[in-house]
Structure 1
Amino acid sequence: MIPLLLAARRLAAALAAVWRNPETKALPVVAGALVLTGTLFYWRFEDWTIVEALYFSVVTLTTVGFGDLSPTSAGTQLFTVVYILTGLGVLVALLSSVAEQYLSQRAEGRHAGARLRARGSSEVDGL
């Protein structure tokens, strides 16, 4: 359980780093706006509940596509095509940036640990 909590903490730190980076700061906002747009669109035009519309938006953008919900009219099907083509790129860019930050922070932590171990060993050698 502790490793899972530590990984979640590192993931939150990586997302915060993406938010602080001027080059990637817009990605969480754009991804959130895309999910909100899809949710509101499907809620309005497919007569789904907000939860169903949110679920479909997330499942669609992550390319999971369970198939339990699907657009019923030509208009919502066309919207879905544009939504996938637009949203997939944004979501992949966001997830790539978060993963890059996560791995970078993890590597820094390992390097810091190695430096501490090396310092401790050199202090012992010097005694």
Structure 2
Amino acid sequence: MPKKPGHELTHRQMRRLFFVALVRQLRVIWPIVSGVVLVMIGCGLAIWRIEDWRIDEALYFTFVTGLTIGYGDFTPKHVSARILSLVIGFAGIVLTGIVAAVTVKALNADDWEP
């Protein structure tokens, strides 16, 4: 973190600068993030229809799979639902990577100097 002599940032100022940079980054990549989330939800709704689950079970399965937690309490039986589960898993990996990249970018923001 670059500092000028005699200009120390407080923890509160650093936290504020981080969140400002994070929001700035999120506004740029919001179309990508929302697209990935919509793909995940769309696949989850398709699995809901294919597997004849309740909608809350299908959305739960979608986000547990997408966040790579994968408890295994719901497993698709049909081949098409399994393929959609793979799409959800890959979309979740992309989403996790995007969140990590945006956070690192916000941490490396050039706005750290007072």
Q: TM-score range by the shorter chain?
A: 0.5 to 0.7
Identity %: 27
Q: How does 1:10-21 map to 2 (within 5 A)?
A: 14=22, 16-21=23-28
User: Quick one: structure 1 residues 13 and 35, their matched pair in 2 at CA, closer, same or farther if it must change by over 3 Å?
Assistant: farther
Matched, 1:56 2:61: yes
1:72 Cα deviation after fit: 1.2
SS of residue in 2 equivalent to 1:64:
coil
- Any stretches of 5+ residues in structure 2 without a counterpart? 1-14
Structure 2 residue 91 is the aligned partner of structure 1 residue 83: no
Aligned partner letter, 1:30 = G
Q: Secondary structure at the match of 1:56?
A: helix
Closer/same/farther in 2, CA of residues 37 and 72 from structure 1, 3 Å limit: same
Asked if 1:25 is matched to 2:30, the reply is yes
Alignment RMSD (CA, Å): 2.7
Cα deviation, 1:8-62, whole Å, max 9, x if unaligned, reads xx76972x323322xx232221222122212211221111222111111111111
Write 1 or 2 for the structure with the bigger share of helix: 1
TM-score by length of 2: 0.65
1:99 to 81, 103, 110: 103
How many residue pairs match? The answer is 97
Q: How does the TM-score come out when normalised to structure 1?
A: 0.59
Moved over 4 A (4+): 10-13
